[in-house]
Amino acid sequence: MGRSQTLLRSQCFLAGLVRPVSASLLLVPLLFASSINAQDAGSAATEFFGRGVAITVVVHDSSGRPLSSPAVVKLFHSSMPSAQAQTSNGSAELVVTDLGDFTVVVEAAGYATAQKDVSINANGREEIDIYLRALSANSSVAPGRPLLAPKAKKAVDEGFAALASDNLNKAQKHAAEAARLAPGHPDVLYLQGLIFLEMRDWVKAQEMLEKATQVDPSDANAFGALGMALCNTGKYEAAVAPLEKALQLKPAPAWDTRWALAKAYYGQGRYEQAVEMSQAALSSSNGKAPEIQLLVAQSLTAVGRFEDAAGELRKFLRDHADRREAATARRWLDGLAANGKIRAK
């Protein structure tokens, strides 16, 4: 209830994300302290004397609690197996002496294998949370979304409704109650992620939404919101995968996801794809976000289609002269004319 409306609202944070082009164009190996098969990689016996990182991996079940049964945690660096350990009371510790990008893979009987990419950029300690999904008893196919108890569902629904009504304080109160009742449920995590988006706390939003997609990898809204959080921190390359996943799961209408993906493509310099995706976003939005037309113009300019870009800007000025973006559209159009990129009219 209110989920789709709330997700559309989170898109507004992307409006100022892509900087316009200039006026002239409109613009390892991992050195592990013991062998790879060591089961107590983070014990005192593997002291790293401040030269590396102690990585604590906390494994949760779908309720958000530490996994009570054993799980095997594997660490990969540059796609090469580096170390592994078994959890005790839901956590395992591994020590590494190199920095960089790592992949954590967790396997446990009765649960789908989980994977998470992390970047370790400083010596010291790092904690990583991994959420597992239970498999059905007699097959390898994951069951449907976990159910919410009535009180928790009420809190979640009221939280989404409060966000849709621009009542952040009320949304936070409902989210806190939902988190108390069902801390690891994907709907609760998604709600918390949207609240952090509303607060412009992109890092915490990313954290919550990553957890939500781990617990429920079929939630298109959570993937879309995760991509938006990544876009808002300029992580365009990282944003593409969850946004494309969101469109795979929910291809129509998903105009807001297409808009975010177009911005991610543009931010990466993938201008042809930005043209196609921004045009699709504008078409499927049915007038809900006319400012998408400016991104269409930016993308067309970037691929040298100056007259087409000017046409989009003129349409925007004709139909939306009262919007605040009109000044930007006029400035870009004047810049194209002044630099001889289009015929003056």
Structure tokens at 277: 């995706």
**Same domain? 121 vs 187:** no
Q: Does the pLDDT of residue 27 top 50, yes or no?
A: no
Find the DSSP H helices in the chain: 3-10, 150-164, 168-181, 186-198, 202-215, 220-232, 236-249, 255-268, 271-285, 292-302, 306-319, 326-338
Contacts by residues 157-165 (CB-CB < 8 Å, ≥ 24 positions apart):
157/1, 157/2, 159/191, 159/195, 160/1, 160/2, 160/3, 160/6, 160/191, 160/194, 161/1, 161/2, 163/2, 163/6, 163/9, 163/191, 163/194, 163/195, 163/198, 164/2, 164/5, 164/6, 164/9
Of 71, 98, 131, the domain-final residue: 131
**Same domain? 259 vs 206:** no
**Same domain? 342 vs 256:** yes
Task: Give CA–CA dist 126/120, Å, rounded.
Answer: 8
Q: Does residue 139 belong to any structural domain of this protein?
A: no
Of 131, 158, 187, the domain-final residue: 131
Q: What mean pLDDT do residues 129-155 have?
A: 70
Check if the beta carbon of residue 53 is closer than 8 Å to that of residue 120: yes
Specify the length of the chain in residues. Answer: 345
Q: Does the pLDDT of residue 40 top 80, yes or no?
A: no
Residues linked to residue 106 through DSSP beta bridges, in sequence order:
73, 114
**Same domain? 302 vs 234:** no
Q: Does residue 119 belong to any structural domain of this protein?
A: yes
Structure tokens at 75: 């660490």
In eight-state DSSP terms, residue 76 is E
Q: Does residue 33 belong to any structural domain of this protein?
A: no
Catalogue the E-assigned strands of 16-99. Answer: 53-60, 72-77, 80-86, 91-96
CATH of the domain at 55: 2.60.40.1120
Q: Note the pLDDT tens digit of each residue in 282-296.
A: 999 999 999 999 999
**Same domain? 224 vs 170:** yes
Check if the beta carbon of residue 113 is closer than 8 Å to that of residue 74: no
Identify the three-state secondary structure at position 131.
strand
Q: Does residue 54 belong to any structural domain of this protein?
A: yes
- What's the CA dihedral at 257, 260, 266, 267 to 10 degrees? -140
Mean pLDDT of the chain: 81
Of 229, 250, 271, the domain-final residue: 250
Residue type, 271: Y
Least confident of 3-12, 85-94, 112-121, 270-279: 3-12
Q: Does the pLDDT of residue 86 top 50, yes or no?
A: yes
**Same domain? 163 vs 203:** yes
**Same domain? 160 vs 202:** yes
Q: Is the pTM of this model over 0.75?
A: no
Q: Note the pLDDT tens digit of each residue in 155-202.
A: 999 999 999 999 999 999 999 999 999 888 999 999 999 999 999 999
Share of the chain above pLDDT 70, in %: 80
**Same domain? 245 vs 259:** no
**Same domain? 96 vs 159:** no
Q: Does residue 3 belong to any structural domain of this protein?
A: no
Task: Give CA–CA dist 331/310, Å, rounded.
Answer: 11
**Same domain? 280 vs 243:** no
Check if the beta carbon of residue 239 is closer than 8 Å to that of residue 231: yes
**Same domain? 224 vs 295:** no
Q: Does residue 221 belong to any structural domain of this protein?
A: yes
Our count of domains for the chain comes to: 3
Task: Give CA–CA dist 299/20, Å, rounded.
Answer: 10
CATH of the domain at 277: 1.25.40.10
Q: Note the pLDDT tens digit of each residue in 195-235.
A: 999 999 999 999 999 999 988 898 999 999 999 999 999 99
**Same domain? 161 vs 183:** yes
Structure tokens at 224: 């879309």
Structural domain of residue 221, as residue ranges? 145-250
Q: Does residue 16 belong to any structural domain of this protein?
A: no
CB atoms under 10 Å from CB of 232, counted, come to: 23
Q: Does residue 12 belong to any structural domain of this protein?
A: no
Higher-pLDDT residue of 7 and 244 is 244
